[in-house]
Every structure is written in C-alpha cells, then in structure tokens.
A and B are shown apart, each in its own frame.
Chain A
Amino acid sequence: MADNEIDMGMNVETGAETSFEDALKHLEDIVHELEGSGLTLDEALRKFETGVKLSRFCHRRLDDAEMRIEELVEGEGEVLRTKQLEIEPELLEP
C-alpha cells in the first residue's frame, strides 16, 4: 500500500524502499533549503512538491496502525523464517 507512495520519486538514487527515518530527514532538509535562500523558483517549486509528498508519506506511515507480530521459527536446515505469533489473545488486546 505504501509502495505507491514511495514510488513517487523519493528514493530514485537507490531505488530502495524509503524508510520513515530517511523521509523525515529528507523533509527536514528540504524545509531548511526552502527557508534559506539561493533556490531558483523552479527548484523551490520542485522541492516544495517533494516536501509535500514526503510529509504525506510520513503521516501515512504514522497512521499505519497495524502492528505485525511474528515469531522466529526454529526449523531444520539453514534457512530461518518467521510466522505469525501464536500467543494468548489477551496479549494482543490493548
């Protein structure tokens, strides 16, 4: 779901999934750049657009309220995997 949001030209250099931390840092940098001077109008508008996207992305990440809880599975062989944690329901209730 968040992938569409991420794909919006945010991490074109690496192509990696944008982390919340990177996005927040990027947003802070853009605000500082815009608040300083020395950008052309075109640059400023482009930065602004990216900033708005980042801000939306960050908010969306914060609203992502689903906590995924998994459990490490002790398996045979070298490959480790996880599975949905099976615990008492009361542990999952707030």
Chain B
Amino acid sequence: MLYTVHELTQYVKQRLQNDPSLNNISVRGEISNFVHHTSGHMYFTMKDAHSQLSCVMFRGANRKLRFKPENGMKVVCGGNITVYEARGAYQLLVWDIQPDGIGALYQAFEQLKEQLSRRGFFDDVHKKPLPAFPETIGIVTSRTGAVLHDILNVIRRRFPGVRIILAPARVQGAGAAAEVAHAIRQMNRLSMSAAPGIDLLIVARGGGSIEELWAFNEPEVAEAVFESQIPIVSAVGHETDVTICDFVADLRAPTPSAAAEIVVPDRRQLAQQIAGLHIRLVHAIRRVVDTERGRLAYLERGVVHPRDRINQHRQYIDELFRQMHRSVLHRLELHRKDLSMLGATLHALSPLNHLQRGYSIVLRMPDMTVVNTVKAVSAGSDLQIRVTDGEIGCKVHEIKEIGEDG
C-alpha cells in the first residue's frame, strides 16, 4: 500500500469519524493551554496524568456555555473525535463542557431526561392549559425561605383575592424528592375531595447548585408532576437552571417570582378591562334605546298608534257630522227654495194680487158667494166689495145685462 499523506489522512479521518465509539462521547480531564481566539472559537488541551487531547469548541457551541472555561479546571467535554487534516492531528470537537465533580449527576440527568422523553413525559399533548383566573393556588415549596415570601408578595400585589394552600416540603437533601412528590400527590387528593378544587400548582425552589436542585431531577418528582391532574408551573432555581421537573411541568417559569407573575392576572389591568366593558355596555344600550326611540317616533307618525287610531275615528266622525250637517242644510236650502218658489206661484195665483192691480171681488151677502154674473143679484141685494185694504158694503141699484143681445 502506498498512500499520499493526504490519502492516508483522509482514510484515518474516515475511520475515526465513522467509529460509533468516538462519536457523541464524554471525556473527563483538566483544561490547559486554553485560548479564546478573536474569531470566537476556543482552543485548548485536555489532559490527565497520562495523556493529552487537543480540543476545539467553535463559537456557535461555546456561546451557550454558562461558565467560562479556565486552565486547571476539571471538566467533562462532550463531542466527537475528528481529524484536523492540515496537521494530521486528531482532536475532540467539543459541543458542551460541564464542570466535573458533578459529572455523574449530569450523566444521570441526561439519562433520565432521555428515558422520560421516550416515555412521552415531555410531550406537548400532555401539557395542560393554565387557568386564566385561578381562585385557589397550591404551592409546593419549603415553609421557610425567601421563595414562599417572594411568591406571596407577587400574588398579593397583583391579585390578592385568591386562596393559597401551601403543601410544605423539604426541597433539598436526602428525602426531599420524596417529600415534593408526596406534596404534589396530596394536593391532587385534596383538590379532588374538596370543592372548589385547586386550580393550579406552583412547584418552586430558589437557585442553587446542581446538587442542591437535585431533588427536582429525581424520577419520583417527575412522575408525580406528570400524573398531576392540576396544572403545574415549575419554578426551580434561577433562570439558567434547568431541571427534569421543568421539562415535565405544564409550564416552566424562570424564577419563583416569575411563576407568581405568570399564574395570577394583574388586578389593575383587569379593572381597566372591566371598566372598558362597562362603558361599552352603556354606550351599546344607549344606542339601542335611541334606535328604538327613533323607530317609535316613526311609528307615531304612521297610523298604527292606538291613540292615534282613536283620534282618527273621532275626526272621521266629526267629518261625518259635518257632512251630515252640510247635507241637511243643503236639503233645507233646497226646500226653502222650493217653498219660496211655491210661495211665488201661490203669490202669483193669489186673488189678492189682482186686487192690487185694481180688481176687486164682489161677494153676495150674507152667503158670501162670489158674484160673477148679473143673474146672481137683484135690486136691493146686499153686496160686499173686497179691495186690497178692506171691504166696502153696498146695495144694488139697478141691473143691466150685457151680452147676448148687445
């Protein structure tokens, strides 16, 4: 076999990089020759009593480090073995650095996380929504210490009208995990047995080292949180501390105070919201009433209103009366005209009329027959002559017949 240097290096690189035993590994050692290059990448050597290992941690990975690596620091580095071809040197490409001494805990943490993840403990489908306005809030934490104090303060400031139930539990040291898990289960039992139940649980602990927070990385806490029917907000440690409990809980709060901020609404903000709704309510009803009033006015102009209908009738009746009256008068008038015409006729026919023109009526007395012939009288008969203004009594002197012979 004859290789070029490059070919050989390529081959070795392939072999190393494809070897599962050299991939995704953790290496324990002490940091030396640490350089944080201006490019942002970190170069250092890991060593122990017998050997050295070149390491590189690129900028993208080391930006997430929560501590600053230093020479002499004992660490556990996670990464892959790669080959730097230009120098033909193998090296550890580092993804993550954890301070050592607690390496075992990290390992346990990662293992449990992996195991619970496979069992679906972290799945979103299991995440319960938090109530918007919890009335009863359960707190699982230590009875002593600043955490309870902080949570109560924030709740009192934002929304004091709630009921708080503390389930005290030791949050550190041997047996702490069992107490926390027990407290969570008891809260669930209480919530189911008594109405009204507990709307929400805060599982909280102040900041501390990974050892101090360890109870919240124990499987029994994870299981109690997972099984809880009450939604749980996990607030363990400071912002940068992450525990298994945080992953399983329905929501992770960065700190206990933040948990309190998250779970209760702000009273002042709510008061404003309600005041706004009240104003809208009043505006809305005013508008409804105005609209209705307008509609009524419109109707009143129409003929539909009962009082108006009565008025209409009344007016109609008046109108009828007027019409009747008019028609009667008219008829009377007609009659009057008839009468006067009749009167005129009568007048024309009246003999008195003739008297005015100089004619007179001669009546034979005492029987008052109208004398229209000489034969009705004889000499010496009494006569009465009627003129317009009276009667004249007279006696017949002589009678001359005119006519047949003359």
Chain A: residues with CB nearer than 8 A to chain B?
A: 17, 19-21, 24, 27-28, 30-31, 34-35, 39, 41, 44-45, 48, 51-52, 55, 58-59, 61-72, 74, 79-80, 82, 85, 87-88, 90-92, 94
6 closest A-B pairs by beta carbon, nearest first, are A34-B284, A64-B161, A48-B285, A21-B133, A72-B167, A44-B288
With contact pairs A62-B161, A69-B152 given, residues A19 and B284 touching in the complex (Cβ less than 8 Å): no
- Chain B: CB-nearest residue to A57: B274
Q: Does B131 contact A (CB under 8 A)?
A: yes
Q: Tell me the complex Cα distance, A59–B267, Å.
A: 10
Name the distance in Å between A83's Cβ and chain B's nearest Cβ: 10
- Chain A: CB-nearest residue to B288: A44
Q: Does B400 contact A (CB under 8 A)?
A: no
With contact pairs A48-B285, A66-B161, A67-B164 given, residues A80 and B190 touching in the complex (Cβ less than 8 Å): yes
Q: Tell me the complex Cα distance, A67–B386, Å.
A: 132
Q: Does B149 contact A (CB under 8 A)?
A: yes
Residues of chain B in range 139-155 having any CB-CB distance to chain A below 8 Å: 143-144, 148-149, 152-153, 155
With contact pairs A62-B161, A72-B186 given, residues A80 and B274 touching in the complex (Cβ less than 8 Å): no
Residues of chain B in range 301-345 having any CB-CB distance to chain A below 8 Å: none
Q: What 16 new A-B contacts, CB under 8 Å, besides A52-B278, A69-B152?
A: A21-B132, A27-B277, A35-B280, A45-B285, A55-B274, A58-B270, A62-B270, A62-B271, A65-B160, A65-B161, A67-B155, A67-B156, A70-B165, A71-B166, A72-B167, A72-B183
- Chain B: CB-nearest residue to A61: B161
Interface of A is mostly: helix
B108 — which chain A residues lie within 8 A by C-beta? none
Name the distance in Å between A44's Cβ and chain B's nearest Cβ: 4
Q: Tell me the complex Cα distance, A69–B133, Å.
A: 17
B162 — which chain A residues lie within 8 A by C-beta? 67-68
Q: Does B406 contact A (CB under 8 A)?
A: no
Q: Tell me the complex Cα distance, A27–B194, Å.
A: 28
B183 — which chain A residues lie within 8 A by C-beta? 72
B285 — which chain A residues lie within 8 A by C-beta? 34, 44-45, 48
13 pairs, A vs B, C-beta closer than 8 Å: A19-B135, A20-B135, A41-B289, A44-B288, A48-B285, A63-B161, A65-B161, A67-B160, A70-B164, A71-B166, A72-B168, A72-B183, A80-B190
B165 pairs with A79, CB closer than 8 A: no
Q: Tell me the complex Cα distance, A59–B165, Å.
A: 24
Q: Which of A31, A52, A71 contacts B280 (CB 8 A)?
A: A31
Name the distance in Å between A38's Cβ and chain B's nearest Cβ: 11
B143 pairs with A87, CB closer than 8 A: yes
Name the distance in Å between A30's Cβ and chain B's nearest Cβ: 7
Q: Tell me the complex Cα distance, A91–B280, Å.
A: 41
Name the distance in Å between B230's Cβ and chain A's nearest Cβ: 13
Q: Does B347 contact A (CB under 8 A)?
A: no
A51 pairs with B281, CB closer than 8 A: yes
A82 — which chain B residues lie within 8 A by C-beta? 165, 190
Q: Which of A31, A64, A72, A91 contacts B187 (CB 8 A)?
A: A72
A24 — which chain B residues lie within 8 A by C-beta? 133, 270, 273-274
A91 pairs with B148, CB closer than 8 A: yes
Name the distance in Å between A45's Cβ and chain B's nearest Cβ: 7
A68 pairs with B277, CB closer than 8 A: no
B164 pairs with A69, CB closer than 8 A: yes
Name the distance in Å between B269's Cβ and chain A's nearest Cβ: 10
- Chain B: CB-nearest residue to A70: B165
B289 pairs with A91, CB closer than 8 A: no
B271 — which chain A residues lie within 8 A by C-beta? 59, 62
B148 — which chain A residues lie within 8 A by C-beta? 87, 91
Scan B287-301; emit 1 where CB is below 8 A from any A CB, else 0. 011001000000000
Q: Which of B132, B133, B155, B274 contacts A59 (CB 8 A)?
A: B274
Name the distance in Å between B327's Cβ and chain A's nearest Cβ: 48
Q: Does B157 contact A (CB under 8 A)?
A: yes
- Chain B: CB-nearest residue to A74: B186
B270 — which chain A residues lie within 8 A by C-beta? 24, 58, 62
Q: Does B4 contact A (CB under 8 A)?
A: no
Q: Tell me the complex Cα distance, A70–B274, Å.
A: 29
Q: Does B60 contact A (CB under 8 A)?
A: no
Q: Tell me the complex Cα distance, A90–B168, Å.
A: 18
A63 — which chain B residues lie within 8 A by C-beta? 161
B153 — which chain A residues lie within 8 A by C-beta? 94
